[in-house]
């Protein structure tokens, strides 16, 4: 949760991977006195993507943040997007239900992500994190998908397994579902 005297932004940066991207972007936040509340970074097939939720004491504008980040992004040849978050978007939405991890392994084929995520969406299961990787050899590629999902109140992991069992047969993939126990700090 953010204080009333702060303003928040969603910042995304995408471009060809190289050392120094995270350091370059976060240096700007440090220099400006921004706080990084949440972030996610990943390298995908040579492209690097990061999304961050940052806050700063008011008054602080999107224009000022863009003005400071743009030269760094231009130097690194990165695409930049900044979005001001409304006060309702600034609130951290904690999940009421269970959080589970869903794993999918199988022969690479079109439609795995779509078919699994549409089945989940139809039951109002919210995807919090999704990662995919292609492993194995060129002759026998193996598709790996890892999802973290928030189960709505009243839905248990066994129901999710049942929901996905038809896809398991249809797509000829292995699908596992397990609860992730939150860790208290």
Provide the token pair at 62. 């999107």
Sheet strands (E) in 85-165? 99-107, 126-136, 141-150
- Half-sphere exposure of 158 toward its Cβ, with a 13 Å CA cutoff? 1
Mean pLDDT (the chain) is: 90
> Do 28 and 72 touch, CB atoms closer than 8 A?
yes
The pLDDT of residue 20 is above 90? yes
> What residues have CB less than 8 Å from 76, skipping those under 6 apart?
15, 18, 20, 21, 24
The pLDDT of residue 29 is above 50? yes
Supply the DSSP symbol for 91. Answer: S
Q: pLDDT tens digits for 47-88?
A: 999 999 999 998 999 999 999 999 999 999 999 999 999 876
CB atoms within 10 A of CB 16: 11
The pLDDT of residue 2 is above 60? no
The pLDDT of residue 159 is above 50? yes
pLDDT band at 90 (very low <50, low <70, confident <90, very high): low
CB atoms within 10 A of CB 103: 14
pTM beyond 0.75, yes or no: no
Euclidean distance between CA atoms 122 and 8, whole angstroms: 31
Q: What is the pLDDT of residue 88?
A: 65
Q: Which helix (H) or strand (E) holds 30?
A: helix 21-32
The pLDDT of residue 101 is above 60? yes
Domains for the chain: give ranges and CATH numbers: 6-90 (3.30.70.260), 99-179 (3.30.70.260)
Euclidean distance between CA atoms 126 and 180, whole angstroms: 15
Q: What is the pLDDT of residue 156?
A: 87
Euclidean distance between CA atoms 105 and 107, whole angstroms: 7
Q: Which residue has the higher pLDDT, 94 or 117?
A: 117
Q: What is the pLDDT of residue 138?
A: 86
pLDDT band at 1 (very low <50, low <70, confident <90, very high): very low
């Amino acid at each position: 949760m953010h204080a009333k005297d702060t303003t928040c932004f969603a910042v995304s940066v995408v471009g060809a991977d190289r050392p120094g991207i995270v350091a370059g972007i976060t240096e700007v936040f440090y220099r400006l006195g921004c706080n990084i509340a949440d972030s996610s970074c990943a390298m995908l097939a040579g492209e690097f993507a990061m999304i961050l939720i940052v806050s700063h004491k008011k008054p602080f504008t999107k224009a000022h943040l863009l003005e400071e980040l743009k030269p760094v992004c231009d130097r690194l040849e990165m695409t930049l997007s900044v979005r001001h978050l409304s006060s309702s978007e600034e609130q951290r939405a904690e999940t009421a239900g269970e959080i589970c991890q869903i794993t999918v392994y199988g022969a690479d084929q079109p439609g795995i992500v779509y078919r699994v995520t549409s089945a989940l969406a139809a039951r109002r299961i919210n995807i919090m994190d999704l990662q995919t990787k292609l492993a194995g050899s060129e002759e026998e590629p193996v598709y790996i998908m890892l999802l973290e999902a928030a189960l709505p109140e009243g839905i248990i992991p066994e129901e999710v397994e049942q929901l996905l069992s038809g896809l398991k047969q249809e797509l000829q993939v292995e699908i596992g579902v397990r609860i992730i126990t939150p860790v208290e700090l």
